[in-house]
Amino acid sequence: MTLYLDDAAVRRLLRLEDLLAAMRQALVDLSAGKVAQPLRMVMDIPAQSGFFLIKPVLTERALAAKLITLIPGNAARGLPTLLATIVLMDPSTGEPLAVMDGTWITALRTAAVTAVAADALSPPGPKVVAFLGSGALARSHAIALRAVRPVTQIRIWSRDPANVARCAAETGAVVCASAEEAVRGADIVCTLTNATEPVLRGAWLKPGAFVAAVGAPRPNWRELDDEAMRNVVVADSRESAENEAGDVILSGAKLFAEIGEILAGTRPKPPAGATVIFKSLGQAVEDAFAARLVYDAAIAAQR
């Protein structure tokens, strides 16, 4: 029988500790060629200046597709700008196992991937964290990064003062008047915006900083300027970064490695002290692994 899991059920069943381990394995499997994952399909929604995306994937334990809408105007409606549904199927038979709300999965697995990369690519010890962007991803990143590093301060900036205030109250972040103020001296910087032009300047970055570039999922969108992209660039997927990431395409940046290669030890880590840009585009394999966690937890709860 196909399970139907709403947002409340997904939030109840998805545990961060399990998700962090699953994201590490998903990234390793992707880089090792153990996953069949074509590039996502993107269709414009012109009336809303938005997009509809379809992301299919086949792994050892899951056949899945995620359906995503990105509607920037939803913020004014009190809705998430990104909404998602995941269909999980048995990879052997094609039988539908579950249809689940993917909005929280997307937010938490995106943050978990950032946390996995930060854990691998930044030195241990207390961290000052800066968020450019104050939506759902800022909230989930606050949770995930605190799970892998002692965070002494979170700073936050975005163009929406009311949302910044709400996010700061929920996460304990310090509100900053500008992006530069948030970034200067920060050890970890996360760009979590719907920006189409750079909001982060390389000149602001502390030497040795770790930057998770999470927004700008289109070939002509950017969050980081050329100076930032001249640092060491690691991606979740080389194919995705070279075909879908405006930060990479428009700057002409060369990729150092995939994070899965570094996690598996098949490629070295960046040199000690290097400033690292982690370009995260959100891979379907991450959704499949997360959805399988939720499904397995739901089945276990029924026993």
Between residues 76 and 195, the one the model is more confident about: 195
Enter the DSSP assignment of 36. B
pLDDT, the chain, mean: 96
Average pLDDT over residues 132-154: 97
Residues 6 or more apart whose Cβ sits within 8 Å of residue 144? 16, 20, 108, 111, 112, 114, 115
Q: Assess whether pLDDT exceeds 90 at residue 81.
A: no
Instruction: Work out the percent of the chain whose per-residue pLDDT is above 90.
Output: 93
Do 21 and 145 lie in a common domain? Answer: no
Amino acid symbol at 290: A
Question: pLDDT value at position 76?
Answer: 84
pLDDT digits (tens, 9 = 90+) for 92-107: 999 999 999 999 999 9
Residues 266 and 218 in one domain: yes
pLDDT range class, residue 145, cuts 50, 70, 90: very high
How far apart, in whole angstroms, are the C-alpha atoms of residue 288 and residue 37? 11
Residue 197 sits in a domain of what CATH number? Answer: 3.40.50.720
Whether residue 80 is predicted with pLDDT greater than 90 in this model: the reply is: no
Which residue range forms the structural domain that includes residue 225?
A: 108-282
**What mean pLDDT comes out for the span 245-264?**
98
Tell me if 182 sits within 8 A of 132, measured CB to CB.
yes
Residues 66 and 151 in one domain: no
Tell me what pLDDT residue 79 has.
86
- At 68, is the pLDDT very low, low, confident or very high (cuts 50, 70, 90)? very high
Quick one: 126 and 82 in the same domain?
no
CA distance 292 to 97: 10
Instruction: Tell me: do 137 and 276 sit in the same domain.
Output: yes
Question: Does the pLDDT at position 36 exceed 90?
Answer: yes
Same domain, 73 and 114: no
Q: How confident is the model at residue 82 (pLDDT cuts 50, 70, 90)?
A: confident
Instruction: Kindly state whether residues 264 and 296 are assigned to the same domain.
Output: no
76 or 233, which is more confident? 233
Q: What is the mean pLDDT of residues 47-54?
A: 94
When comparing pLDDT for 174 and 76, which is higher? 174
Q: Kindly tell me if the per-residue pLDDT of 303 is higher than 90.
A: no
pLDDT in tens, 159-215: 989 999 999 999 999 999 999 999 999 999 999 998 999 999 999 999 999 999 999
Same domain for 92 and 190, yes or no, is no
Residue 207 and residue 89 share a domain: no
Q: Does 118 lie in the same domain as 189?
A: yes
Residue 128 confidence (pLDDT): 98
Contact (CB, 8 A) for 118 and 86: no
Give the CATH number, domain containing residue 75: 3.30.1780.10
Q: Is it the case that residue 241 has pLDDT exceeding 90?
A: yes
Q: Where do the DSSP E strands lie in the chain?
A: 3-5, 41-45, 50-58, 63-70, 82-89, 96-101, 127-132, 151-157, 174-175, 188-191, 210-213, 232-235, 255-258, 276-279
| Residues 135 and 180 placed together within one structural domain of the fold | yes
Single pTM value for the model: 0.95
Residues 126 and 230 both lie in one domain: yes
pLDDT surpassing 90 at residue 289: yes
Total domain count, the chain: 2
Among the listed residues 119, 142, 117, the one whose alpha carbon sits nearest the alpha carbon of residue 129: 142
pLDDT-based confidence at 75, cuts 50/70/90?
confident
